[in-house]
Amino acid sequence: MTSRDLSTIARKEREVRLENLKRAWFRFSRNRLAVAGLIILTTVVVMALSAEYVTPYPSHAGLYINFEERYQPPNPKHVLGTDMYGRDVFTRVVFGFRYALMMVGVVLGIVVPAGTVLGLLAGYYKGTLIDHAINGASEVFVAVPPLVLALAICSILEPNVFNALLAITLMWWPWYARMVYSMTSSLRNEPYVWAAKALGMRTVDILFRELLPNMLGPILTKATLDASWVVIIGASISFVGLGAQPPTPDLGTMLSEYCRYLPAYWWMTLGPLLGIIVLVLSFNLIGDGLRDVFAGE
């Protein structure tokens, strides 16, 4: 066989991959709400990334005081009104998306891979010391209600965004470890795993090439649905004053600052509230769509 044939085969492989992606998209796009969620989330991400350019008053994000314009209800100049320092609420919410999305990215970026690897190891070596160590550790974290644990960690350490992230990460990995653990401990007895062992495949390859692909669907679906929980818990920690501190335009911090002005200046609270709802809703809609994609495979 010549090298020309190799390139033909490589091209064919790319075609097949593209075809599979198209099918996945087809299944996803049949769920209209999921597509809506994807569009909303994309808009939010783009807005958050270019917040300096798309918001009317970027300087209002942090410390800024203009008493002449404070307490203004929603109007064409300030679509979501202004707060007690005269800052544009809409601008601050868009900047708030940044913190929320960063939290989601960092937390899931650590928790999902870490939990998956630990769950794979514990499940594959079920009944051994590795299994007991990993499951024992995860049970300790699972035993405490998540928000309480996060609050405890944040109050011991200095209250700032980094420690809030640390707290959420610590309380979250066991859920992935457990899910992957239960899938691994049933899949590891599949004949294809035995066949791989009989061939002499390395354990790493069995874990990541044979087992992991069969769990990707549930893991990704859970990650997307969990993204909205990260938003809510991150906001909760800030709300009670243990996360980001004012004047950081964090959605939770803003809520706790502004809710004191209820009910007279309701629009101030409405802004960050809408922000959280938009994020949570879009993540959940996408998660539902992903579930359809993987269920159809």
Partner 1 sequence: MVEDLKKYFRTPRGIVKAVDGITFSMDLGETLALVGESGSGKTTTAHVIMGFYTPTEGLVTYKGIDIGIPVEKRPLWLKREIQIVFQDPATSLNPKNTVKDILDAALRVHASGTKLERLNKMLELMNYLGLPEEHLFKRPTELGGGEKQLVALARALAVDPDFIILDEPTSALDVSAQSKVLKTLSRIQRDRRVSYLLITHDLGVVRNISNRVIVMYLGKICEESETDELFSKPLHPYTQMLLSSVPAMTKEDEKVLPVRIESRGEIPSAINPPPGCRFHTRCPFAMEICRREEPPACNAGASSHVVRCWLYSSRTRV
Q: Which is nearer to partner 1, 16 or 49 (CB)?
A: 16
Options 21, 46, 195, 277; binder of partner 1; rule CB under 8 A: 195
* Contact code string over 125-144 relative to partner 1, x by CB under 8 A: --------------------
* Minimum distance of partner 1 from residue 192's CB (angstroms): 4
Binding residues for partner 1, total number by CB under 8 A: 25
Q: Which is nearer to partner 1, 46 or 216 (CB)?
A: 216
* Minimum distance of partner 1 from residue 121's CB (angstroms): 15
The closest of 255, 27, 242 to 148, measured between CA atoms, is 242
> Does the protein bind partner 1 through residue 214 (CB under 8 A)?
yes
Q: Which of residues 151-190 bind partner 1 (CB under 8 A)?
A: 190
Structure token pair of residue 35: 């597509």
* Contact code string over 7-46 relative to partner 1, x by CB under 8 A: --x--xx--x------------------------------
> Does the protein bind partner 1 through residue 200 (CB under 8 A)?
yes
The one segment of 58-66, 80-88, 142-150, 200-208 that binds partner 1 by CB under 8 A: 200-208
> Does the protein bind partner 1 through residue 63 (CB under 8 A)?
no
> Does the protein bind partner 1 through residue 3 (CB under 8 A)?
yes
Q: Which is nearer to partner 1, 32 or 202 (CB)?
A: 202
* Minimum distance of partner 1 from residue 71's CB (angstroms): 58
As beta bridge partners, residue 88 has 82
> For binding to partner 1 (CB under 8 A), which residues are involved?
1, 3, 6, 9, 12-13, 16, 190-192, 194-202, 205, 209-210, 213-214, 216
